Amino acid sequence: MPSQDKDSYLFGLIGSGIGPSLSPALHEREADRQGLRCLYRLIDIDTLGARPEAVGDLLRAARDLGFDGLNITHPCKQHVIPHLDELAPQAEALGAVNTVVFAPDGRAVGHNTDVTGFAASFARGLPDVALERVVQLGAGGAGAAVAHATLTLGAGRVTVVDALPERAAALADSLNHCFGDGRAASAAPDRLADLLARTDGLVHATPTGMAAHPGLPLPAAFLHPGLWIAEVVYRPLETELLRTARALGCATLDGGGMAVFQAVDAFRLFTGREPDSAAMLADFAELSGAAGAHKQPATKQPDNGSAHEQPATKQPDNGSAHKQPATKQPDNGSAHKQPANK
């Protein structure tokens, strides 16, 4: 646990196309409320001309420069793992890290707050929906986190569909190992229409819908009013998927709550202090409204401090969140020692 004696912090976000991220403002505003000084820097691998595999070098540079912690987003959440000294149990189970805390002795400890962030947002925004059968589109770093969260929230079975079938199968195997046989399955993209015809809801965890990847992640004809739709993308807040689903009468959840609640959990890990989640939700509403008042560049891709992986199967035609206070939120866990491969 970080010392509460500190009154100034330096954080950063490593990822691709992160210019529009609201993570810096969310963390800096919460620090101000708590009487802390906080500087949050964006470390964009696109701007640096670096590949995702360079995340280890960036991590070491941040540690040497005195950073207290980092958020990690697409496409670095899995690449960062070999460069860490420890993993919290949840991050180890997921095989994905979105938060790195630098301990006083210099150890880099990896966590995943995407799981708790999505779970809190879902419980708040879609508290009463059926969860017996869920289809998830996307099996990357964000997909692994939200699938774990969905099963933790009580889903009976999650079927994972990904443009890379082997990645979907690997995630389903991992989920069955963690939650028990039969709780997860994988399916090829050509089965998506049939699956959605007889499922309760769809979790979307690919980058399609982001500013840099506009459009629908699946044909609009696959959607129907009996589905609920949960989105991971938050910039823009209303993706084409959510807009299309709402027009059909589907219950929908945008990616904003996940963005806020993962930041709430990351701030707690970084500082050892309890953040004001209600104030951070209000900050997000203000910031996202202000951002929406300006034309968003079509070339940049946002992020959560969390992330989104690879575009889905098809791109035709797109909807936001609602409802009530959070009820459930899984634990981040404490760290398990893992040897660093440097």
pLDDT higher than 80, residue 301: no
What digits encode the pLDDT tens for the residues 26-35? Answer: 999 999 999 9
Structure tokens belonging to residue 90 = 């949840």
pTM: 0.82
End-to-end C-alpha distance for the chain, whole angstroms: 24
Q: What is the dihedral of CA 324, 114, 23, 69, to 10 degrees?
A: 140
Which of 177, 201, 191, 217 minimizes the C-alpha distance to 312? 217
Check 6, 77, 314, 323 and give the catalytic one: 77
pLDDT higher than threshold 90 for residue 15: yes
Owner of token pair 């999650």: 158
Q: Which amino acid appears at position 194 of this protein?
A: D
Q: What is the pLDDT confidence band of residue 306, given thresholds at 50, 70 and 90?
A: very low
| Local structure of 178: helix, strand or coil | helix
Give the model confidence (pLDDT) of 179-194 as tens digits: 999 999 999 999 999 9
Output helix, strand, coil percentages for the chain, rounded to the nearest 5: 40, 15, 45
Q: CA nearest 244: which of 231, 260, 234?
A: 231
State mean pLDDT over 303-311: 41
Confidence check: pLDDT of 158 > 70: yes
pLDDT at 152 over 90: yes
pLDDT at position 291, please?
58
Q: In which region does residue 85 sit, left (phi positive, over 0), alpha (psi from -120 to 50) or beta (all else)?
A: alpha
| Average pLDDT, rounded, for the chain | 87
Q: Is residue 141 very low, low, confident or very high in pLDDT (cuts 50, 70, 90)?
A: confident
Choice among 46-50, 63-67, 85-89, 291-295 with the minimum mean pLDDT: 291-295
Distances (CA, A) of 165 to 54, 138, 140, 334: 27, 10, 11, 32
pLDDT of residue 235: 85
Residues paired with residue 157 on neighbouring β-strands, in sequence order: 133
**CA–CA gap between residue 300 and residue 282 (Å, rounded):** 24
User: Do the Cβ atoms of 56 and 84 come closer than 8 Å?
Assistant: no
Q: Which two tokens stand for residue 169?
A: 């199968």
- Both tokens of 190, joined, read 């050509």
Residue 77 among the catalytic residues: yes
